[in-house]
Structure 1
């Protein structure tokens, strides 16, 4: 009796862990590489794009793959740790096939590609694309309501044509659970055209989070391809310090146009941050720390700390100040650390447990002193106060690290730099030197 090889749809593989034969995780799947063939012949899968440590992307041939199923992939043998570079004849399944508009051969009707089914050929290690899951309709409301069907690869045509205005919904769905830094890695490795399409499909908050994790050149490219009104909305959704850093890299005229389109209060925060020297506490701080009045209780403070939109560093402490509550505030009184909030009864006033002995930073404090301050007091964030005693913002450890690392550290992380001991090739399940 013939052995039936199970089909796997690639949407179930996105981000799946990749393991060696010993069960140790090598990395995560970020894409599949296919070779389109002449006529209706199904494309052959050449290999996997796997993201290993340091967010480095490598190519793993399909001949090294011993198991593929939803939730995990197992590979074996020797792999090359050189950074993956796409060749002109290669096609990325996630990045270039999903969301394409193609046509049904039988009817000529236009359909959108939602998913791709792959299958291993019997008695071989070769894999190929077998099925295409499509939705009828040209986009918009039709695309959401249209009939879906699974067809053979040979039943559709148009994959080899240059795609204009390709959507991004299915691609984004496959990476919906990715952290912003990981989705930034996906965008960085797409073509400029595809990167622009995916960025356009993200909502403002998600795009803002991703922009903060991208190298400067990618940030400027994406922002420049957005309509100015939307670019201003995305800048408003970014952390003020990140928005200020991005705007400072733009030509003066473009920067002023975008600031004029932002809400006045948001633009005011960004302008204030841009007025400080770059490598000072003022230039590093965010203007959105948690600020509470002296009469606020521990229960109120914990409710503010629970905000899921806050970074862990900002949620680690609250700042007690007299009104007004927005930065620049009234007189800064002290800081209450998250651990202290957990130790005291909910009705306790935050003013009664505030740490008033910790000296705040001044906005002109240089970066080396900011770093020493955080290290000396074991802090993940520090208050920045002006001469009048008003709280201007807070410097968080992640922003300090951004400026301590090499200027191109984001690009090194996204492109990947070979980890120590993993240059050249490495044998799975053994040290890189083969011992």
Structure 2
């Protein structure tokens, strides 16, 4: 390696950009793969899990890495884009070692793994040599204050190979704190079932709700079933009503009703309404939380509403003008205002003067194909859904239409898709050699 660092803490690698020899970014680091060895021998680093488009984890042998910096990894040679499949002899550092409870060899006191460090050897191998741990009471290694962090040699702790139940997940969550929900969902999907549950349980309600919305259906059901009923209800409340309805619609009737009963009435009501519609209709596709303003709202007030960073970009593209009440189902629907029109008008102007009344709204019973045709015909990313009495029920966004037009398992297909290329001989030889060791 050219100028390698003397020590690298692995959790800090999460999310770092990976560049090929030409300087083009090919992906980001998601984890470090190591081979645990017998006794106190330090684990050998096999390589990195790198996520490349479209959300596919691939394996980069550590021998190919030439530069490790605070904000970049550079490798030489060719990156094999065959999907990474973890083997029984391999361990993921961030996904499986962080938050593990191990013991100090000299005292037997329990400590929690916060991070591990790897270092290069003169033979170009990398070994895990240090463990950053935290514990709560005084010990022989100077861990005097509650939560004090100390870096120890690898052979000063034991218990990494034992199966641990109830392993925490704070370290994993911290490592991926800035990751987009869709990308974090890909990481969660790849974890072993035990760790997937532990990480999901440790996420806060809002973050878990965002991740659930991006996971394949089977993962959603599995995780929700592992949560306490009250916690599951809280997470469902944090999800978009349409996503919550889709998930609840896959559960047995008794379980669905129990969770709906545990939800706050005002949160459960729109979900119950959505469950009355078929999945492949405008009513089943819509969200009940579009941006709605009264006719006397100003352009400035309306623009402030769509500036909300938590708002779905498709929902922010247009605003629906209705007479009070403005919560769905609203008072009489008057029309739509497109955000580009808002940008062209003076801030004090009223939205009632710029409403598009020529665009017919969707009806809740319209089919998926009819909704898709409507959006395509008028070049829209969302459309209002209005009942026969003229009340706005919600809005259908293009992302939900695509979600239902694609094959049912499209999320899992994206996460699990493997390239058609064969295995890289060098990579396979390296990994097989580590299995023999």
TM class, shorter-chain normalised?
over 0.9
Deviation at 1:423, TM superposition (A): 2.3
Aligned with 1:160: secondary structure? coil
**CA displacement 1:354-389 (0-9 Å, x = unmatched):** 111111111111111111111111111100000001
Deviation at 1:26, TM superposition (A): 1.7
Hey, what's the Cα distance between the residues in 2 that align with 1:281 and 1:129?
A: 54
Summarize the alignment of residues 263-282 of structure 1 with structure 2, pairs less than 5 Å apart: 263-282=264-283
When residues 53 and 144 of structure 1 are mapped into structure 2, their CA distance, relative to the original with a 3 A threshold, is farther
Residues 1:65 and 2:96 aligned together: no
Q: Assess if the C-alpha contact under 8 Å between 1:45 and 1:126 holds in 2.
A: yes
Deviation at 1:5, TM superposition (A): 4.8
User: Please, what is the CA RMSD of the aligned residues?
Assistant: 1.8
2:322 maps to what in 1?
Answer: 321
1:407 maps to what in 2?
Answer: 408
**CA displacement 1:283-324 (0-9 Å, x = unmatched):** 100000011111111111111112222111111111000111
2:429 maps to what in 1?
Answer: none
Hey, what's the Cα distance between the residues in 2 that align with 1:118 and 1:48?
A: 12
2:170 maps to what in 1?
Answer: 169
Structure 1 gaps, min length 5: 428-435
**CA displacement 1:105-154 (0-9 Å, x = unmatched):** 233221111111111112x321111111111128xxx9994211111111
2:391 maps to what in 1?
Answer: 390
Hey, what's the Cα distance between the residues in 2 that align with 1:158 and 1:234?
A: 34
1:291 maps to what in 2?
Answer: 292
Summarize the alignment of residues 424-435 of structure 1 with structure 2, pairs less than 5 Å apart: 424=422
Give the number of equivalent residue pairs. 418
2:341 maps to what in 1?
Answer: 340
When residues 143 and 236 of structure 1 are mapped into structure 2, their CA distance, relative to the original with a 3 A threshold, is farther
Q: Assess if the C-alpha contact under 8 Å between 1:55 and 1:416 holds in 2.
A: no
**CA displacement 1:245-290 (0-9 Å, x = unmatched):** 1001000110110011111122111111111111111110000001
Q: Assess if the C-alpha contact under 8 Å between 2:4 and 2:68 holds in 1.
A: no
Summarize the alignment of residues 141-156 of structure 1 with structure 2, pairs less than 5 Å apart: 145-156=146-157
Hey, what's the Cα distance between the residues in 2 that align with 1:162 and 1:260?
A: 37
Hey, what's the Cα distance between the residues in 1 that align with 2:26 and 2:423?
A: 13
Hey, what's the Cα distance between the residues in 2 that align with 1:302 and 1:5?
A: 49
Hey, what's the Cα distance between the residues in 2 that align with 1:268 and 1:248?
A: 15
Deviation at 1:78, TM superposition (A): 3.3
Residues 1:330 and 2:331 aligned together: yes
1:430 maps to what in 2?
Answer: none
1:233 maps to what in 2?
Answer: 234
Deviation at 1:80, TM superposition (A): 3.0
Structure 2 gaps, min length 5: 138-142, 426-437
Q: Assess if the C-alpha contact under 8 Å between 2:4 and 2:120 holds in 1.
A: no
1:423 maps to what in 2?
Answer: 421
Q: Assess if the C-alpha contact under 8 Å between 2:242 and 2:288 holds in 1.
A: yes
2:133 maps to what in 1?
Answer: 134
2:75 maps to what in 1?
Answer: 75
When residues 426 and 337 of structure 1 are mapped into structure 2, their CA distance, relative to the original with a 3 A threshold, is farther
> Which runs of at least 4 in structure 1 moved beyond 3 Å after TM superposition?
142-145
Q: Assess if the C-alpha contact under 8 Å between 2:4 and 2:66 holds in 1.
A: no
Aligned with 2:335: secondary structure? strand
Residues 1:89 and 2:89 aligned together: yes
When residues 358 and 145 of structure 1 are mapped into structure 2, their CA distance, relative to the original with a 3 A threshold, is farther
Hey, what's the Cα distance between the residues in 2 that align with 1:193 and 1:176?
A: 20
Compute the TM-score of the two structures, normalised by the length of structure 1.
0.93
Summarize the alignment of residues 359-370 of structure 1 with structure 2, pairs less than 5 Å apart: 359-370=360-371
Deviation at 1:398, TM superposition (A): 0.6
Larger CA deviation: 363-372 vs 144-153? 144-153
Q: Assess if the C-alpha contact under 8 Å between 1:8 and 1:69 holds in 2.
A: no
Hey, what's the Cα distance between the residues in 2 that align with 1:368 and 1:153?
A: 59
When residues 4 and 404 of structure 1 are mapped into structure 2, their CA distance, relative to the original with a 3 A threshold, is closer
Deviation at 1:4, TM superposition (A): 8.8
Hey, what's the Cα distance between the residues in 1 that align with 2:386 and 2:378?
A: 17
Hey, what's the Cα distance between the residues in 2 that align with 1:426 and 1:25?
A: 20
Summarize the alignment of residues 80-229 of structure 1 with structure 2, pairs less than 5 Å apart: 80-122=80-122, 124-137=123-136, 145-229=146-230
Q: Assess if the C-alpha contact under 8 Å between 1:166 and 1:197 holds in 2.
A: yes
Q: Assess if the C-alpha contact under 8 Å between 1:8 and 1:70 holds in 2.
A: no
Larger CA deviation: 61-70 vs 43-52? 61-70
